[in-house]
């Protein structure tokens, strides 16, 4: 079997695995309290390489890896590129005097980028967009009822299948990405009395299914400042769009009756049609590079969450505008070194700071993080194994909220091949 067909077989198997597992999106071992709000925790669709360089994306345009966040970059692909990535994460959560740690491992993305001639390129793939995974409990004293145990739990999230095209001419590149988003959410809350056995316990559960098409626009401009020095400008725009959905809601009362739990449905609605309005998002950035030896850049991105609506309802748990600033750089000591392997390794560093889209108890949540990464060449010049490392903090312990610190390690692969080119030898 030729090297070409081995790669195709490998990628078909990976796509099947991702489709069946839906990216292993929810893990029972992980608990993220802030995923209770909005659409859950937002998941970066960047490849492992970009995560190591501070999550830069707007002005990244490289010939042998896929920047799925700016479709204008697809025109810069020189070879057919397969990319697969996964992530391990551990998270420490502190609230008051309590603290605990959670963690999980998931698949992150799969992409196939294909050059369509000298001036065009395309990309297709699958990635998670948001995750919901929380389980919380709190003891609350309610007047006329007494001490109660209130619980909150949820799971689910959004995934996206996407297809994008990019074209370039004389340094200018434009592109668009069409994605099909789909997902399910379950959010539940319970109240159980710890004192008065004559008071009925209650349970509220909401199920939501979402689906729909969305699009994203991108643009880049690259110019040579000298023989080796290049400047790239980039920007993206995702207009406010809608996902259609169905919602079921149940309110049940429960009580202990003859040693078993008796449930009574007090209220329910099923198959309620509606939609979720997503916010407009935009980004812009700049990178400066010296051929294959080094690259440095800065990005700014923002989302207009004041436009966010859930089944027509104004969401009071989100900010008007979330934003993020990213900086990063990468260095390859000697890309063409023959005898010193580590001179061909690419080393990356980065940092980011921003305001989260979740707002709880009139409090904005800030976050920050530091990243590092390496790309390890193997077999041929363009194939790489990528590693990224990220440490960050999020939230605050004021007003009874939770503060988080986390560590993420990413593992990714980028493999390159030639399509539509007649081979002389097999």
DSSP 152-179: EEEEEEEEEEEEEEEEEETTEEEEEEEE
Chain segment 210-253, per-residue pLDDT in tens: 999 999 999 999 999 998 899 999 999 999 999 999 999 988 87
Residue 217 contacts residue 176 (beta carbons within 8 Å): yes
Identify the band that residue 2 occupies on the pLDDT scale cut at 50, 70 and 90. Answer: very low
User: Is residue 353 in some structural domain?
Assistant: yes
Q: How far are the Cα atoms of 161, 237, 346 from residue 379, in angstroms, in the given order?
A: 30, 38, 16
Q: Answer yes or no: is 426 within a domain.
A: no
Is residue 46, in this structure, part of any structural domain at all?
yes
Query: For residue 56, what is the DSSP state?
Result: -
CA 222 → CA 27, 72, 115, 118, 173, distances in Å?
42, 11, 18, 16, 8
pLDDT at position 255: 66
Question: What pLDDT shows up at residue 28?
Answer: 44
Report yes or no on 423 lying in a domain.
no
- Residue 253 and residue 201 in contact, taking contact as beta carbons nearer than 8 Å: yes
Q: What is the SS3 assignment for 6?
A: helix
Contact 206, 61 (CB under 8 A): no
Distance CA 335, CA 312 (A): 54
The answer, yes or no, to whether residue 26 has pLDDT greater than 60, is no
pLDDT of residue 146: 67
Q: What mean pLDDT is predicted for residues 90-98?
A: 84
- pLDDT of residue 11 exceeding 80, the answer is no
- Alpha carbon 156 to chain centroid, angstroms: 14
Distance of alpha carbon 183 from alpha carbon 100, whole angstroms: 29
Domain membership of residue 32 as a residue range: 3-417
pLDDT in tens, 367-398: 999 999 999 998 666 789 999 999 999 999 88
pLDDT at 410 over 90: yes
- 50 is a domain residue: yes
- Contact call for residues 125 and 112 (beta carbons, < 8 A): yes
Task: Identify any residues that bridge with 122 across adjacent strands, giving them in sequence order.
Answer: 114, 165
Number of domains in the chain: 1
Examine the pLDDT at 23 and tell me if it is beyond 70.
no
The model's pTM: 0.86
pLDDT confidence bin for 164, thresholds 50/70/90: very high
Q: Are 124 and 148 in contact (CB under 8 A)?
A: no
CA neighbor of 278 nearest in space, from 310, 324, 317 = 310
CATH of the domain at 195: 2.40.160.60
Report yes or no on 313 lying in a domain. yes
Domain-embedded: residue 240:
yes
CB atoms within 10 A of CB 286: 18
Q: Is residue 424 part of a domain?
A: no
Determine contact, residues 124/18, Cβ cutoff 8 Å: no
């Amino acid at each position: 079997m030729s090297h070409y067909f081995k790669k195709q077989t490998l990628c078909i198997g990976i796509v099947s695995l991702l489709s069946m597992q839906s990216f292993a999106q929810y893990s029972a071992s992980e608990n993220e309290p802030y995923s209770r709000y909005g659409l859950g925790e937002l998941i970066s669709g960047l490849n492992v390489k970009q995560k190591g360089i501070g999550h830069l994306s707007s002005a990244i345009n490289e010939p042998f890896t896929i920047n799925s966040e700016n479709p204008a970059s697809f025109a810069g692909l020189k070879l057919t590129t397969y990319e697969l990535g996964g992530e391990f994460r551990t998270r420490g959560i502190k609230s008051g005097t309590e603290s605990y740690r959670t963690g999980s491992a998931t698949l992150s993305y799969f992409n196939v980028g294909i050059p369509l001639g000298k001036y065009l390129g395309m990309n297709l793939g699958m990635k998670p967009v948001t995750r919901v995974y929380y389980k919380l409990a709190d003891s609350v004293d309610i007047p006329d009822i007494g001490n109660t145990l209130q619980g909150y739990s949820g799971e689910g999230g959004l995934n996206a299948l996407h297809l994008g095209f990019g074209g370039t001419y004389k340094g200018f590149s434009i592109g668009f990405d069409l994605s099909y988003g789909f997902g399910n959410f379950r959010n539940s809350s319970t109240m159980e009395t710890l004192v008065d056995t004559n008071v009925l316990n209650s349970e509220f559960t909401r199920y939501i299914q979402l689906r729909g098409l969305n699009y994203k626009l991108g643009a880049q401009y690259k110019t040579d400042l000298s023989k080796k020095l290049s400047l790239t400008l980039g920007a993206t725009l995702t207009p406010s769009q809608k996902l259609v959905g169905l919602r079921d809601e149940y309110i049940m009362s429960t009580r202990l009756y003859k040693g078993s739990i008796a449930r009574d449905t007090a209220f329910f609605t099923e198959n309620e049609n509606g939609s979720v309005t997503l916010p407009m998002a935009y980004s812009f950035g700049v990178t400066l590079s010296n051929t294959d030896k080094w690259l440095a850049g800065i990005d700014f991105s923002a989302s207009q969450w004041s436009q966010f609506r859930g089944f027509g309802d104004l969401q009071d748990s989100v900010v008007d505008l979330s934003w993020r600033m990213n900086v990063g750089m990468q260095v390859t000591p000697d890309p063409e070194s023959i005898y010193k392997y580590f001179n061909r390794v690419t080393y990356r560093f980065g940092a980011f700071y921003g305001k989260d889209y979740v707002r709880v108890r009139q409090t904005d949540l800030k976050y920050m993080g530091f990243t590092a990464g390496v790309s390890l060449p193997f077999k041929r010049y363009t194939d790489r194994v990528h590693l990224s490392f990220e440490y960050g903090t999020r939230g605050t312990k004021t007003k009874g909220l939770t503060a988080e610190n986390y560590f993420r390690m990413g593992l990714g692969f980028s493999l390159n091949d030639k399509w539509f080119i007649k081979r002389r030898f097999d």
